[in-house]
């Protein structure tokens, strides 16, 4: 380029096909034909209608620019609406930024951010940057869900991401469905940053279709149970302040935790429950029954105003749509714990379930008597589920503050312990110190309140990474004894069996975990891909690992596993690319670090990983 550099402000759109690598592996010619059809039938006509310029094609994707944010958003909605029934699912990312112009091409930070935003979009969804959100909200006509700040490759500062809803409505920043705080026990998902145990139930029973955001989970696992089954849908936040969503989420999860400890009930796990939030189609109780197979559905709302809290809840029989119980409960904030127990007790009474004295005693237990410490705990839990280093550190600050107020807050100690455990083998710095801190905190939590399933799960996770597999198994078994509906607990136990050397047994454990939590999140997909790699089933490992990377493209462990799979399949160029991506995420990663990331008892799988990744270019 000669002369002065040409720059201009533009709305940049990036799009690609979700799961393209997996689809090409299954049917190359058919996939290419579908990509061409999508481009000619939907993408190019929409660009023409909304004033977009196709800059260039990028294999399965495209780069386009618009003169206005409105044009880019309308075009994206037009494309996704048109492709709703298409076999392919596109991900679209939009950024407003400065671009460098060279002939017909554009590049620069504005394009780079658009590409990273696109990688965070859901299949069939639209993700936008903060600059796009600010422009769109002032014009109205759009509704957004706040995806939080995310660290992305080649961008120094965290990028704020917003997901566009195609339902219309006024633009607003609403918190997404994250893991809410658990009042009675700590879920496996807290360890998701290092990949927790789990599985794709559909794969285990022979149905290879995964439940993505656009497809329901397999039906039948729950209805096969003899005991009554129930799901608690996320309570709606009626406080008028989106920042209070963490509080309504906490009330939902508290209720799930209370009910899950009743042995006579089968209670669907939080992750599956919260996957129903913000879905496009209506989800009444009868629809939820058809999707999950559960009989009973709990719905409700929470309104917090000053020192006052109101909960509206109802229990519906999903088979008939008949309302069995409805309650409107008001209390002062100082009586919050009593309010939570009252809701659980009335639902149990409506189901005509008689509690044992031990169940009644545990139902009325308090984690802490200090509401300030409890509120800090709820805020920490929300940060934990942002899945990035900055939020992990913020969560630790909240938790240390909560423990400064109440040093006997065992649940806070358990969560804090796991925030240290879940960096093992990922940060590659201070591994031993982090694990020792986690071990100390988890041990203190068990000593303080040994009746909490959470504390045993937290300690079991530390034992596993210390390669103390028998002690880990005992801890997970105790957690499951205390909470028979602990879906993630079954997954953690199976994960430990896998590392201890019994991957076949692990598959059975994963199967039951998915009965209670059929909505497979990224950590489940990642773990089951690892198990299939250990068993030598590379096709299954690749299919699930690819899906996991689509959910979380910045996952170091997953990049390494994907590279090893490709290498063993003889796809060396693909393997080398995955290693390059892993090094971009963590430049100091070496083959010598793999035992910290994958704590196998035996060396055979670990040696396969080392050999495969070294052949793909991972330094020794």
What span, in angstroms and rounded, lies between the C-alpha atoms of 557 and 426? 8
Within 449-592, where are the H helices?
Answer: 453-465, 469-482, 487-500, 503-516, 522-534, 538-551, 556-568, 572-585
Q: How many other C-beta atoms lie within 10 A of the C-beta of residue 127?
A: 28
pLDDT band at 221 (very low <50, low <70, confident <90, very high): very low
The least confident of 47-61, 239-253, 490-504 is 239-253
In this prediction, residue 178 carries a pLDDT of: 32
Q: What is the DSSP letter of 278?
A: T
For residue 90, give the 3-state DSSP assignment.
strand
Highest mean pLDDT out of 89-93, 104-108, 266-270: 89-93
What span, in angstroms and rounded, lies between the C-alpha atoms of 196 and 208? 21
- Decide if 561 contacts 400 (C-beta within 8 A): no
Mean of all residue pLDDT scores within the chain = 81
With a cut of 90, say whether residue 42 has pLDDT above it: yes
With a cut of 80, say whether residue 283 has pLDDT above it: no
Q: Per residue in 59-69, pLDDT tens?
A: 778 999 999 99
In this prediction, residue 534 carries a pLDDT of: 94
With a cut of 90, say whether residue 22 has pLDDT above it: no
In this prediction, residue 180 carries a pLDDT of: 31
pLDDT band at 427 (very low <50, low <70, confident <90, very high): low
In this prediction, residue 14 carries a pLDDT of: 94
Q: How many CA atoms lie within 13 A of 373 on its CB side?
A: 19
With a cut of 80, say whether residue 421 has pLDDT above it: yes
Residues 6+ away with beta carbon under 8 Å from 72: 11, 12, 13, 50, 52, 64, 66, 94, 132
Bridge partners of 150, per DSSP, are 159
What span, in angstroms and rounded, lies between the C-alpha atoms of 128 and 146? 10
In this prediction, residue 217 carries a pLDDT of: 41
With a cut of 80, say whether residue 354 has pLDDT above it: no
In this prediction, residue 223 carries a pLDDT of: 44
Highest mean pLDDT out of 178-182, 290-294, 296-300: 296-300
pLDDT band at 183 (very low <50, low <70, confident <90, very high): very low
The least confident of 81-85, 86-90, 172-176, 552-556 is 172-176
> In the chain, what are the domains?
6-164 (3.30.70.1230), 229-364 (3.40.50.10610), 369-484 (1.25.40.10), 503-619 (1.25.40.10)
Beta-strand ranges (E) seen in 82-137 are: 90-102, 105-107, 126-129
User: What separation in angstroms does the CA of 360 have from each of 97, 356, 365?
Assistant: 58, 6, 9
* Structure-block tokens of residue 596: 């910290």
Q: Which whole number is the average pLDDT over 255-265?
A: 81
Q: Which residue has the higher pLDDT, 417 or 165?
A: 417
pLDDT band at 430 (very low <50, low <70, confident <90, very high): low
The least confident of 122-136, 251-265, 396-410, 538-552 is 251-265
For 189-225, give the DSSP string: GGGGGG------HHHHTT------TTSPPPSSTTTT-
Phi, psi of 285 (to 5 degrees): -60, -40
Q: Which whole number is the average pLDDT over 441-453?
A: 94
User: What separation in angstroms does the CA of 576 have from each of 20, 218, 379?
Assistant: 18, 36, 40
**Closest listed residue to residue 472, CA positions, set 442, 447, 445:** 442
Q: Which whole number is the average pLDDT over 316-342?
A: 85
Q: Per residue in 463-503, pLDDT tens?
A: 999 999 999 999 999 999 988 888 888 888 998 999 999 99
Look up tokens 């007790």; give the residue: 345
Q: How many CA atoms lie within 13 A of 525 on its CB side?
A: 24
pLDDT band at 159 (very low <50, low <70, confident <90, very high): confident
Residues 6+ away with beta carbon under 8 Å from 109: 97, 98, 155
């Amino acid at each position: 380029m000669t002369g002065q550099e040409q720059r201009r402000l533009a709305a940049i759109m990036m799009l690609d096909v979700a799961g393209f690598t997996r689809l090409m592996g299954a049917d190359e010619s058919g996939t290419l034909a579908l990509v061409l059809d999508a481009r000619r039938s939907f993408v190019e006509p929409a660009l023409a209608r909304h004033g977009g310029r196709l800059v260039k094609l990028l294999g399965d994707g495209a780069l386009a620019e618009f003169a206005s944010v409105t044009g880019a958003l309308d075009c994206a909605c037009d494309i996704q609406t048109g492709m709703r029934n298409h076999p392919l699912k596109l991900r679209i990312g939009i950024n407003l930024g400065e671009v460098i112009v060279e002939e017909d091409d554009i590049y620069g930070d504005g394009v780079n951010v658009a590409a990273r935003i696109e990688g965070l979009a859901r299949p069939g969804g639209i993700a936008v940057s903060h600059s796009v959100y600010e422009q769109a909200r002032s014009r109205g006509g759009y509704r957004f869900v706040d995806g939080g700040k995310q660290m992305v490759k080649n961008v120094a500062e965290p990028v704020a991401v917003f997901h566009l809803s195609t339902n219309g409505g006024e633009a607003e920043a609403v918190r997404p469905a994250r893991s809410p705080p658990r009042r009675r026990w700590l879920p496996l998902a807290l360890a998701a940053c290092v990949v927790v145990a789990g599985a794709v139930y559909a794969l285990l029973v022979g149905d290879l279709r995964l439940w993505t955001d656009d497809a329901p989970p397999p039906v039948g696992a729950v209805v096969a149970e003899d005991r009554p089954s129930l799901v608690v849908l996320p309570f709606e936040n009626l406080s008028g302040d989106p920042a209070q969503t963490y509080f309504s989420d906490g009330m939902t999860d508290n209720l799930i935790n209370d009910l899950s400890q009743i042995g006579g009930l089968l209670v669907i796990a939080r992750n599956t429950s919260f996957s129903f939030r913000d879905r496009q189609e209506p989800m009444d109780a009868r629809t939820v029954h058809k999707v999950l197979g559960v009989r009973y559905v709990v719905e409700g709302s929470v309104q917090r105003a000053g020192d006052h809290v109101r909960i509206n809840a109802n229990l519906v029989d999903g088979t008939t749509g008949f309302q069995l119980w409805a309650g409107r409960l008001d209390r002062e904030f100082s009586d919050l714990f009593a309010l939570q127990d009252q809701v659980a007790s009335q639902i149990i009474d409506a189901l005509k379930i008689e509690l044992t004295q031990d169940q009644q005693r545990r139902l009325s237990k308090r984690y802490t008597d200090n509401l300030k410490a409890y509120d800090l705990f709820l805020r920490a839990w929300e940060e934990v589920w942002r899945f990035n280093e900055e939020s992990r550190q913020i969560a630790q600050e909240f938790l240390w503050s909560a423990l400064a107020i109440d040093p006997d807050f065992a649940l806070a100690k358990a969560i804090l312990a796991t925030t240290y455990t879940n960096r093992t083998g990922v940060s590659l710095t201070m591994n031993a110190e982090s694990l020792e801190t986690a071990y100390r905190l988890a041990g203190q939590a068990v000593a303080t309140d040994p009746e909490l399933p959470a504390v045993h799960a937290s300690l079991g996770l530390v034992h596993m990474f210390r390669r103390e597999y028998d002690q880990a198994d005992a801890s997970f078994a105790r957690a499951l004894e205390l909470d028979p509906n602990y879906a993630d607990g079954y997954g953690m136990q199976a994960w430990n069996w896998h590392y201890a050397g019994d991957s076949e047994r692990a598959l059975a454990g994963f199967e039951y975990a998915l009965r209670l939590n059929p909505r497979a999140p990224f950590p489940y997909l990642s773990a089951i891909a690892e198990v299939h790699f250990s068993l030598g089933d590379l096709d299954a490992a690749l299919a699930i690992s690819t899906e996991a990377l689509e959910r979380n493209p910045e996952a170091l462990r997953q990049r390494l596993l994907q590279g090893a799979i490709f290498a063993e399949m003889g796809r060396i160029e693909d393997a080398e690319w995955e290693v390059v991506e892993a090094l971009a995420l963590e430049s100091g990663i070496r083959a010598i670090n793999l035992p910290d990331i994958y704590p196998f008892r035996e060396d055979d799988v670990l040696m396969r990983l080392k050999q495969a990744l070294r052949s793909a270019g991972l330094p020794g």
